[in-house]
Amino acid sequence: MAAPFALSLQDLAPIAEGTTTAQAMAETILLAQEADRLGYTRLWYAEHHGMPSIASSVPEILIGSAAAHTKDIRIGSGGVMLLNHAPLRIAEAYRTLEGLHPGRIDLGIGRAPGGDGYAMRALRSGGGEEFSAYLAELMAFDEDGFPPDHPFSRVPVSPGGIRLPPMWLLGSSGASAQAAGQLGIGYAFAAHFSHTPPAPAFDAYRYGFKATEAFPKPKTMLCVSAICAPTDEEAHYLSRSQAVSWALFTSGEQRELMSPEQAHARVLTPQQQGIIDHQSSLWIVGSPETVRDAIAEKAESCAADEVMITTTVHSYELRRRSYALIAGAFGVEARG
């Protein structure tokens, strides 16, 4: 079956136990090249800090690397945690990327810190109430939108002569959806970790949408977690790595992504098992047919224009296989 929506993927640059960080970095390039070959629409990197299992702390570096090693797939952030950065710095970084790879870069923006309280303090991260001001400042830098008497009106954004790439707002609530619509930018809903139904947020986004040059019409993206293998049994076996890692992280224990053998042998506390029981309803796990049908049902229930998939398994090779199986199940046309 051909999907009535675009398919994309997110890469957190996971660091698996038994591998090195250098291997995890090299894998970001291999996955980007495979995603490009398979015909995926875009690949995004998420900003995370202070997590031993994730190496995507600086998305713009990974974006530049992946874009330089691919030809057609769009590469972007999913997202930049804006409160960790001066808006001028983000404007400069993503104008630079757009200048190097014109027409292939996305700028996804999130308001979460991307780390715990200690990481927030180390980053000098701003408070959540400042997010709207940061976002408005970022857009004003791009559009020369500061009033003449504003001190920042005297600050030229370098490199000049380049606009920011298309912007997306990441969220999981009606408030973030309304904001994205009023700004006339794309909206991505975090269904891979939020239990909130996406349909009301998408409706709010579309209802209040104001067309812009980058987005003449509303564009919705549904972000899901999926693990695919040739059989349901193998997929569920592999998914134990993700389940246990999530339980450990949520209960305050951080470590690199363990193998499925280690994960199945791990004895969990009742609290940790409860975390898995609560979160597992959001994870799509199974054979190509199982995963295809589940993704299609979720996307059609909210009329998503695009689905972005994040896959967490211990083996880099099997993660690439998972994305290949999903692309094949949906009949995505390979690029070569």
Domain limits, the chain = 6-231+284-329
CA distance 185 to 169: 7
Confidence of residue 1 (pLDDT cuts 50, 70, 90): low
Q: Could you write out the three-class secondary structure of 172-229?
A: CCHHHHHHHHHHCCEEEEECCCCCCCHHHHHHHHHHCCCCCCCCCCCCEEEEEEEEEC
6-231+284-329 belongs to which CATH class? alpha beta
The contacts of residue 216 (CB under 8 Å, 6+ apart) are none
According to DSSP, residue 129 is labeled G
What pLDDT, on a 0 to 100 scale, did the predictor assign at position 114? Answer: 66
pLDDT in tens, 156-204: 999 999 999 999 999 998 899 999 999 999 999 999 989 999 999 999 9
Is residue 40 within 8 Å of 325, Cβ to Cβ? no
What's the whole-model pTM score? 0.94
pLDDT in tens, 288-322: 999 999 999 999 999 999 999 999 999 999 999 99
What pLDDT, on a 0 to 100 scale, did the predictor assign at position 115? Answer: 66
65 backbone dihedrals φ, ψ, rounded to 5°:
-65, -50
When pLDDT is averaged across residues 115-131 and rounded to a whole number, the result is 74
pLDDT in tens, 215-259: 999 999 999 999 999 999 999 999 999 999 999 988 888 788 999
Of 32-36, 81-85, 230-234, the poorest mean pLDDT is in: 81-85
What pLDDT, on a 0 to 100 scale, did the predictor assign at position 101? Answer: 98
Relative orientation angle of helices 288-302 and 198-207, to the nearest 10 degrees: 40
